[in-house]
Amino acid sequence: MSGREQEYIQKAFDSNWIAPLGPNVDAFEKELADHVGAKQAVAVSSGTAAIHLALSLLDVKQGDKVFCSSLTFVASANPILYQGAEPVFIDSEPETWNMSPLALERAMREAYLEGQLPKAVIIVHLYGQSAKMDELLAICNQYEIPVVEDAAESLGTTYKERFSGTLGKFGIYSFNGNKIITTSGGGMLVSDDENAMERARFLAAQARDPAPHYQHSVLGYNYRMSNILAGVGRTQLQLLDERVIARRQIFENYRRELAYLPGIDFMTELEETRMNRWLTAFTINPHQTEVSQSQLLTALLMENIEARPVWKPLHLQPLFQNAKYYRHKDGFDVAKQIFGTGICLPSGSNLTESEQDRVITCLKKTISKLVRKEEII
């Protein structure tokens, strides 16, 4: 929090708008839509709720298939199960770590031949890196399948000068506590389809028919954002640009200090994109060094530095053990490989230089010690 959030919270209290709806919600929606260049935005209680609404609007139901990136947080795919539909997971490609156009193409062709195309494709932009949208959208457009962009981690990222989350039919953002801006918990659905967004507002507020006697014809949800939290979001949105700059600087600092070390490959930035560097992530290549991901994570932990492995791919999760999976190439499971070698470093927008130095020193020390030992053996 910056401290300035209090101002809008106070406004909510002063006007006694303590409800899921209200002037802060309306303003937050408009300000976010304007910021990213979407026609409409609907503020909801979480990013997961926004994905669920998107699938609901696309009429995803029991027996349907939905394609989804595998290398992501479980929330990207859980709403597929909420709808009783079947997830099919798509591998990453090595450059962006995001959905592989090769794997998507193969999955789509097979589904077409089997006569069961997916109802939607959920494309995730991992750690703020945009997926290869031109290639992916070309495939989805060819088969006329709508795209939901899971931009929970990529708010502020641009792809060919358009904001991540505004290239598909629907985009979703998250304001969970760990994201680049936060309302403690919250999310946003964006789209240029104004009818669909009106329907989203209806479904997110218990799908109450326009009658005074609480009549309901379809299944709805209690997914609207509270007017207090939307106040927090309005201030946070004003901080987004400077946070992107701060996170890009943190990445640049890590890269400058660590990229020369043997086996370390930082997630590169896709051409014609500007990523928000939500998290600085790299892989440690086992062919170039004997230092493993778990050795590095342990060394950081010993110094009380919180780092994380990358998300465990969803096709490897017990929850999804029966789901179909399409690899980038035969015998080449990119998501699994990144999972076994990838590390996310502390990347908070307020991380000080001396805190970054602690991380850098620890990694340098660990790698040089282990590499030297290896050479002696």
Question: What are the residues binding ligand PLP (CB under 6 A)?
Answer: 46-48, 72-73, 75-76, 124, 150, 152-153, 174, 176, 187
CB closer to ligand PLP, 46 vs 280: 46
Closest approach of Cβ 124 to ligand PLP, in Å? 5
Nearer to ligand PLP, 189 or 351 (CB): 189
What whole-number distance in Å separates Cα of residue 264 and Cα of residue 283?
Answer: 6
State the residue for tokens 């760990």.
178
φ/ψ of 60, rounded to 5, equals -70, 125
Query: β-strands 308-309, 342-344: how paired?
Result: antiparallel
Q: Which is nearer to ligand PLP, 153 or 258 (CB)?
A: 153
Nearer Cβ to ligand PLP, position 173 or 282?
173
CB of 335 to ligand PLP, least distance (A): 13
What's the Cα-to-Cα distance from 302 to each of 67, 111, 297, 343, 351, rounded to whole Å?
Answer: 40, 48, 9, 16, 19
Q: Give the residue with the Cβ less far from ligand PLP, 124 or 189.
A: 124
Phi/psi of residue 366, each to 5°?
A: -65, -45
Q: Residue 38 or residue 152: which is nearer to ligand PLP going by CB?
A: 152
Residues 196-200: contacts with CB under 8 Å, at least 24 apart: 196/57, 196/170, 197/39, 197/40, 197/41, 197/42, 199/57, 200/42, 200/53, 200/57
Residues 153 and 278 sit within 8 Å (Cβ to Cβ): yes
Nearer Cβ to ligand PLP (74/297):
74
Is 236 in contact with 9 (CB distance < 8 Å)? no
Residue 176: CB minimum distance to ligand PLP, A: 4
Shortest distance (Å) from residue 72 CB to ligand PLP:
5
Q: How far is the CB of 235 from ligand PLP (least distance, A)?
A: 18
Amino acid identity of 97?
W
Report the residue number, 71 or 323, with the smaller CB distance to ligand PLP: 71
Kindly tell me which of 73 and 326 has the beta carbon lying closer to ligand PLP.
73
CB of 204 to ligand PLP, least distance (A): 14
Q: How far is the CB of 332 from ligand PLP (least distance, A)?
A: 23
d(CA 159, CA 349) in angstroms, rounded, equals: 22
Least distance CB 177 / ligand PLP (angstroms): 9
| Residue nearest ligand PLP, Cβ-based | 47
Minimum Å gap between C-beta 195 and ligand PLP is 25
